[in-house]
Structure 1
């Protein structure tokens, strides 16, 4: 008789359990389903970041659970910026989002690329699925993930004004010509030479010996040219 009962027990189907049943413990004792995300993350401006998530539930899921992942930002009831099905991505995140999750998994990640200052916010993952006996169920992370944007890599700045001035002066040579009635026949199309003339009436030019042959009252003309080396 005992062997008959044992045989009947072996023929009974095993009890159905969820693949991702939550184990209630600690502060989550009152909940049997949740979405877990990191509380805080940070990434540099212009870089990328992946927000990981995992979820669990107590229900027996339908034969076709039709699991859908979506994301909100700003606050718990904030606007959706990503919906897996039907596909939706907010224009602020166009071509910058990718969801790494496969059907049957209870974990994944959302990657945001080319981070901007305005991406600083709190992000909430939301899960939706069909159960076998209790219809459609949906739930999401309570606290979400706070994303902080840090300064990106510093770009090379231009040299200081003094450095630029010093470097520029090294590229030129100053040449001066002193005398009377200097012929200013210069070629205006020559971009490598810049001319300027200066009239000094009967004065001694800096850096030159006094001249005693100048006619009194006749201005002395000095032609300066700047040659680009």
Structure 2
């Protein structure tokens, strides 16, 4: 089978309003117990959307999450008091903050702009809503007038800033659109999966895959999901196939340990490896092959797949999130939670955060950017006023002793930080 050639994913970064994403939230809401703050958004060309994520942030500047899929990132005052309803609305069960506090709905989408001639191009867009002011019950008429003046001035200033920013970006956007139109053949086909993940011997690990294509499901005659495992680029070689949905093939190496889901309607799949072994450490590539009613066939996969690192079963485990999105100027916290019970007796713990430009560089060869904090069985490290230079992969170097044993050095994968905007 002829391999599809591709390029590394490229990210067009935008923090201003675009035609592809429009967020709507109310100007103000009066607080009750509980209160729901609505957030709706429209996305153009939904069939080429690879990823959609919704967060809620509070205050100016927006440094604290009031809702995040990972509760550890939520401000302590609101942890356990917020959740998403209907996919994007914020349910606020309790609030003790100041009057007129502003809540921002943040939406992140990753769109596929790839073509068969120029595959692999994606765009990640981060947008914040205009903000909703939470009015504490009992507001006076004076407070309402002050709020109206504030909102009016803020809207005017935001409009001026938007116009100035758009003037500098519109040329870039037009050039990108023109490039895509000139090189487009039959639409966008992408597969998206995490760059890397980590697991411990004897446990399970799941690798999610999302894919996009412009055609409707009704135009597809058949679809095949294939998983390859190899250290080579594109996981090359038919002998590297560990799963094929069309013939329900499982590699003998993974027989009884591999669970695969494939949902064409929702355009996603997942690979779960149970009872992980050291020899499972390699990269895993998700591949989609489509046959259409008009006789055409298309296929695509990520160039590099997901790199799996397998740690010794005796090493303490650390849970982190694989990807963090942020806007320029924000403060970003990297954190990881130890999962091993024997860490309750850990002592003399020292931790350093290292940065690498790519996922393949080992943590021991990364650039040391500072010392992190160990507290309550977790690691914390804050990067202030992030810029595009902070776009990188991060990892932890931890030295500690457990159960009165000698001090050992452990390396753990941290998140990839993606700064969107600027």
TM-score tier by shorter-chain length is 0.5 to 0.7
Equivalent runs, 1:110-125 vs 2, <5 Å? 110-125=271-286
Matches within 5 A, 1:80-159: 80-133=241-294, 135-153=296-314
- In structure 2, the residue matched to 1:185 is none
Question: What's the C-alpha RMSD, in Å, of the aligned pairs?
Answer: 2.7
Q: Distance in 2 between matches of 1:66 and 1:83?
A: 13
Give the deviation of 1:152 after TM superposition.
0.8
What is the number of residues matched between the two proteins? 138
Identify the residue that residue 49 of structure 1 maps to in structure 2. 205
Q: How far apart are 1:103 and its partner, in Å?
A: 3.8
**As a proportion of its length, which structure holds more helix?**
2
Change (3 A) 1:61 1:131: farther
1:132 to 1:61, Cα distance in 2 relative to 1, 3 A: farther
The answer on whether the counterparts of 2:112 and 2:190 sit within 8 Å (CA) in structure 1 is no
The separation in 2 between residues aligned to 1:64 and 1:36, in whole angstroms, is 20
The structure-2 alpha-carbon separation of the partners of 1:53 and 1:100, relative to structure 1 and needing over 3 Å to count, comes to: same
1:35–1:141 Cα contact (<8 Å) kept: yes
After TM superposition, the structure 1 stretch with the greater mean CA deviation from structure 2, 74-83 or 114-123, is: 74-83
Q: How far off is 1:64 after superposition?
A: 4.7
User: What residue number does 1:178 align with?
Assistant: none
- Equivalent residue, structure 2, for 1:68: 224
Residue by residue over 1:72-106, the C-alpha shift from the partner in whole angstroms, topping out at 9 and shown as x without a partner, is: 11131141111112111111101001112334120
User: 2:217·2:265 contact (CA, 8 Å) conserved in 1?
Assistant: no
Partners of 2:214 and 2:295 lie apart in 1 by 11
Q: Is there any run of 5+ residues in structure 2 with no aligned partner, and where?
A: 1-43, 50-110, 115-120, 123-175, 316-422
TM-score under structure 2 length normalisation = 0.30
2:47 match: 20
Determine if contact 2:112/2:212 at 8 Å carries over to the other structure. no
**SS in structure 2 of the partner of residue 68 of structure 1:** strand
Unmatched 5+ residue regions in structure 1? 1-16, 155-229
Instruction: Answer yes or no: is 1:59 the counterpart of 2:215.
Output: yes
- Secondary structure at the aligned position of 1:20 is classed as helix
Tell me the distance in 2 between the aligned counterparts of 1:145 and 1:72: 11
Q: What SS does the aligned partner of 1:118 have?
A: helix
Q: Match for residue 193 of structure 2?
A: 37
Partner of 1:199: none
* CA displacement at 1:107 relative to structure 2: 1.2
1:47-66 CA-to-partner distances (Å, cap 9, x unmatched) read: 11000000001235554532
Change in Cα spacing, 1:82 to 1:36, as seen in structure 2 (3 Å) is same
Separation (CA, whole Å) in 2 of partners of 1:44 and 1:24: 33
Question: 1: CA distance between counterparts of 2:218 and 2:48?
Answer: 14
In the superposition, relative to structure 1, how do residues 65 and 20 fare at CA in structure 2: closer, same or farther (>3 Å)? farther
The structure whose RCO (Cα within 8 Å, separation 6+) is larger is 1
- Find the residue that maps to 1:101 and give its secondary structure: strand
Alignment match, 2:153: none
